[in-house]
């Protein structure tokens, strides 16, 4: 009589047959190196867990319709609003930011500080209802409101524009932590509008200057985190319809990148930008508007992740971008006593 075994158990059986003897002897240091089908079994197991309805994974929750919610790096704490800045922290941040902005303005440098909102902030309704929110105010709310009431410098708050835009189309990726190219375009447009206040010759290109393309479906970052290949997503790509004038050179530094841009139009201003992964698809849009640009990825090694670039390069525009979950790091980043 023929028996039918589930694929998973057959795969485990075959995997055991492939194990070297030292692995079968339960050598803990040999298992990962010697168990050749390990990666495939992890993928099969993760796909099976998803299929049978498992929704809780390390660093990720699965919402409705394959919407993945990031829970690591304090992202879920931000959503729950269970930690806040103290009054003293807010006051010191305001003092430091105003001092930095004033110093740059006296040197003819435009400073723009921008926060990339968490996906959970823009789509709270897609976070599973079992996850509570403990307060009505977030850390980003605190900062924006405190600076508005007490400071001279304003953070560029993207949330109103992104919340409005999501009523018309998707702006974040379902299986990724980041916005799509449309969210990136909105951010670029708002940034250029802010920069144009001191550089009126600059303005964002209209959306009609870009062609919308849908790329082949693939597992994106959160799907990869949980090892699921059955959740794939097509990325929106905004392809320029115009001729690109800017060239780029990338230098890799210990897993981080420095990006240098050059546009031959010497009448354009120079730019230094400090950014994280949210700006990977924003930076190419920005680069077209600046003669020279230096794009410094967050936490770059070798002492490069600091504001000394501004003193050395004397740019016309400085953009400092942090993801919402790194808001505490922004506070430290501009602290002159750090």
pLDDT digits (tens, 9 = 90+) for 238-247: 999 999 999 9
pLDDT given for residue 26 in this prediction: 44
Residue the block writes with tokens 């953009």:
319
* 15 pLDDT more than 60: no
pLDDT given for residue 10 in this prediction: 52
Beta pairing, strands 155-157 & 210-214: unpaired
pLDDT given for residue 253 in this prediction: 81
pLDDT given for residue 22 in this prediction: 41
pLDDT given for residue 288 in this prediction: 98
What number is the average pLDDT over the span 273-295?
Answer: 97
Contact at 8 Å (CB) between 70 and 119? yes
Contact at 8 Å (CB) between 90 and 142? yes
pLDDT given for residue 12 in this prediction: 52
pLDDT given for residue 49 in this prediction: 82
Confidence category of residue 25, pLDDT binned at 50, 70, 90: very low
What number is the average pLDDT over the span 214-231?
Answer: 92
Going from the C-alpha of 175 to that of each of 82, 119, 235, the distances in angstroms are: 25, 11, 10
The pair of structure tokens assigned to 308 is: 């000394």
The better pLDDT of the pair 183, 41 is held by 183
Give, for 313, the enclosing helix (H) or strand (E).
helix 308-313
Contact at 8 Å (CB) between 61 and 120? no
* Residue % of the chain over a pLDDT of 90: 73
Mean pLDDT in the chain? 89
CA 54, CA 95: separation in Å to the nearest integer?
Answer: 47
What number is the average pLDDT over the span 48-71?
Answer: 89
CA 281, CA 300: separation in Å to the nearest integer?
Answer: 19
Residue range 294-336, pLDDT digits in tens: 999 998 877 788 999 999 999 999 999 999 999 999 999 999 9
pLDDT given for residue 76 in this prediction: 93
* Residue % of the chain over a pLDDT of 70: 88
Q: Identify the burial level of 64 via C-beta atoms within 10 angstroms of its C-beta, where 0-12 means exposed, 13-18 middle and 19 or more buried.
A: exposed
Confidence category of residue 28, pLDDT binned at 50, 70, 90: very low
Confidence category of residue 136, pLDDT binned at 50, 70, 90: confident
Q: Give me the residues paired with residue 252 across strands.
A: 257
* 231 pLDDT more than 80: yes
- Model pTM score: 0.87
Nearest to 103 by CA among 329, 321, 295, 314: 314
User: Residue ranges of the domains in the chain?
Assistant: 7-54, 68-333
- DSSP for residue 179: B
CA 64, CA 39: separation in Å to the nearest integer?
Answer: 27
The CA-based angle 74-79-83, given to 5 degrees, is 65
* 16 pLDDT more than 70: no
Confidence category of residue 14, pLDDT binned at 50, 70, 90: very low
* 125 pLDDT more than 50: yes
Nearest to 298 by CA among 280, 284, 314, 316: 280
Q: How far is CA 216 from the centre of its chain?
A: 21
CA 67, CA 208: separation in Å to the nearest integer?
Answer: 29
- DSSP for residue 218: B
Give, for 194, the enclosing helix (H) or strand (E).
helix 181-195
Contact at 8 Å (CB) between 318 and 324? no
Backbone angles phi, psi at 176, to 5 degrees: -140, 160
Nearest to 322 by CA among 338, 337, 305: 305
């Amino acid at each position: 009589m023929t028996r039918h075994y589930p694929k998973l158990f057959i795969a485990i059986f075959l995997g055991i047959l492939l194990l070297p003897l030292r692995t079968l002897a339960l050598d803990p240091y040999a298992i990962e190196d010697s168990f050749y089908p390990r990666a495939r079994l992890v993928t099969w197991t993760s796909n099976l867990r998803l299929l049978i309805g498992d929704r809780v994974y390390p660093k990720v929750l699965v919402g409705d319709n394959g919407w993945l919610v990031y829970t690591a790096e304090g992202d879920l704490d931000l959503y729950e609003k269970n930690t806040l800045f103290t009054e003293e922290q807010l006051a010191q941040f305001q003092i430091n930011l105003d001092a930095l902005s004033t110093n740059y303005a006296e040197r003819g440098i435009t400073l723009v500080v921008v926060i990339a909102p968490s996906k959970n902030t823009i789509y709270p309704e897609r976070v599973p209802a079992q996850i509570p929110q403990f307060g009505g105010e977030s850390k980003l709310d605190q900062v924006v409101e405190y600076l508005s009431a007490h400071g001279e410098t304003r953070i560029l708050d993207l949330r109103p524009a992104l919340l409005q835009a999501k009523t018309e189309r998707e702006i974040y990726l379902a299986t990724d932590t980041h916005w799509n190219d449309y969210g990136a375009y909105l951010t670029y447009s708002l940034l250029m509008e802010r920069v144009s206040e001191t550089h009126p010759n600059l303005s964002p290109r209209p959306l009609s200057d870009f062609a919308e393309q849908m790329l082949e479906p693939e597992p994106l970052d959160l799907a990869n985190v949980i090892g699921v290949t059955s959740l794939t997503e097509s990325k929106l790509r905004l392809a320029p319809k115009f001729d690109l004038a800017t060239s780029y050179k990338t230098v890799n530094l210990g897993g981080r990148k420095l990006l240098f841009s050059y546009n031959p139009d010497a009448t354009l201003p120079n730019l230094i930008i400090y950014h994280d992964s949210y700006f990977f698809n924003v930076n190419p849009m920005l680069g077209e508007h600046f003669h020279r640009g230096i794009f410094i990825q967050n936490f770059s090694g070798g002492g490069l992740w600091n504001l000394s670039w501004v003193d050395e390069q004397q740019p016309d525009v400085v953009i400092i971008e942090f993801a919402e979950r790194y808001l505490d790091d922004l506070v430290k980043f501009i602290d002159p006593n750090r």
